[in-house]
Amino acid sequence: MVDQAVVLCGGRGERLRPYTDSLPKTMVEVAGRPFLASLIEQLGEQGLKRFVLCTGYLGDRISEYFGDGSGVGTEITYSKGPGSWSTGRRLFEARAMLDERFVLMYSDNFAMFQLANLLDQHLRSEATITLSTVRKNGGNVAMGDGHVVYSRDRSEECAHVEVGYMIVERDRVLAAMDLLVDAPDVDFADVLVSLSDSRSLGAVQIHGGYQSISDPDRLELSREFLSPKRILLIDRDGTINEKPPQGEYITRWEDFKLIDESVNAMAQLAEKGFQFVVITNQAGVARGLVDQSELDRIHVRMVKALAEKGVGVAGVFVSPHHWNESSYDRKPNPGLFLKASKELGFRLDRVLYVGDDIRDCQAAANAGCGMVYVSPNGETEELPVSTMPQWTVESLGEAVSTISSFYGKFER
């Protein structure tokens, strides 16, 4: 188990000036509060309740805001030092506060990581550090052949970049640091290079990209992404429209019948500011039973018909793949959820998905979002394990209040 997070938040943040002339980088406002508050909240929701903040430049601004952490439901201690300390030195000076195993964070990146997946990979690989990475051309991490290579410099040979969210074995890392010239006054990147060379570095890929506040342009993108949004993800067949018999498909608009009760519920939510994103499997295309152009026509007409009811659809994401293709986009895989998040700019852990099939529930769990499982006959199935909330209802109308409450708690 791991329940401690250590955050490196002592740097000057030169690229983020003039914001950092009077604030530590991680205290810059994002979505109505300091960026660090979003990180602490995210980690706390995954069971990390104890924090060590390694502060430096204007560190008192951080401790004055967060105090002992009780105001944000956590326990916070501080390892304070001058802004001139290297990241390696900052971690070294905090060593007496560190658990044997902890999560190490940077204070300027945000990604949709899942602690359970990261910990599982870390324990299986027996690595000294397991990184969280995101695909990026010209990155600093190469993954393959069971060997993770970390580079201080960006390279076209590296298809991933590490973004923090790493699990660290304290004693082994301190021992590796001690072997470096000039230790402990080294960059933490030097420690990662050393562990890479000794093949004791692991990595997990996070799908869905990452946000950063490292410069003013990225700060604005992060502000937009992290701002609360009333976007409800929803399945199509059996949820919005009447479901065809098993093994059959709706092949033309004339056979597409909206479910009145669902549309009425969607209209109620639209009045509360909700927009909708449709995520649907349509294997009939791959099977040659549904024409792609007609499927496009169905969706254009569906969006128009819903708009006439006051229901706005922000996007329709379709997997036309056969179930034998093992497509990452086909539910229960989360590919379409990740695409929607990237294109429309929303956090998956701040939205719900509505569907009528257990595979919808599995897809939501895999994507890291919550779930409303619509079971018209009141039948319940065992829902997949998820860190996010899940509800079973007999109709979408029954869930309107629950959905509104879920989104409302993130709005400040």
18 preceded by cis ω (within 30°)? yes
Superfamily of domain 231-408: HAD superfamily/HAD-like (3.40.50.1000)
Q: Specify the DSSP element, H or E, that contains 42.
A: helix 35-45
**pLDDT at 11 (0 to 100):** 87
**pLDDT at 380 (0 to 100):** 64
**E strand intervals along 15-165:** 29-30, 33-34, 50-55, 75-80, 101-106, 109-111, 129-135, 141-144, 147-150, 160-162
Q: Where are the domains of the chain?
A: 4-226, 231-408
Count of positions (residues) in the chain: 412
24 preceded by cis ω (within 30°)? no
Q: pLDDT tens for residues 319-375?
A: 999 989 889 999 999 999 999 999 999 999 999 999 999 999 999 999 999 999 998
Residues 210 and 111: beta-carbon distance below 8 Å: yes
Compute the distance between CA of residue 168 and CA of residue 104 in angstroms, rounded to an integer: 7
Q: Measure the CA angle with vertex 254, ends 248 and 255; round to 5°.
A: 25
**E strand intervals along 165-291:** 166-169, 201-205, 210-212, 231-234, 275-281
**186 secondary structure, DSSP code:** S
Write down the CATH number for the domain with range 4-226: 3.90.550.10
34 preceded by cis ω (within 30°)? no
Q: pLDDT tens for residues 207-257?
A: 878 899 999 999 999 999 999 999 999 999 999 999 998 888 999 999 999
Q: Measure the CA angle with vertex 128, ends 125 and 132; round to 5°.
A: 75
**pLDDT at 225 (0 to 100):** 93
Q: Kindly list the catalytic residues.
A: 235, 237
Q: Which residues of the chain have pLDDT under 50?
A: none
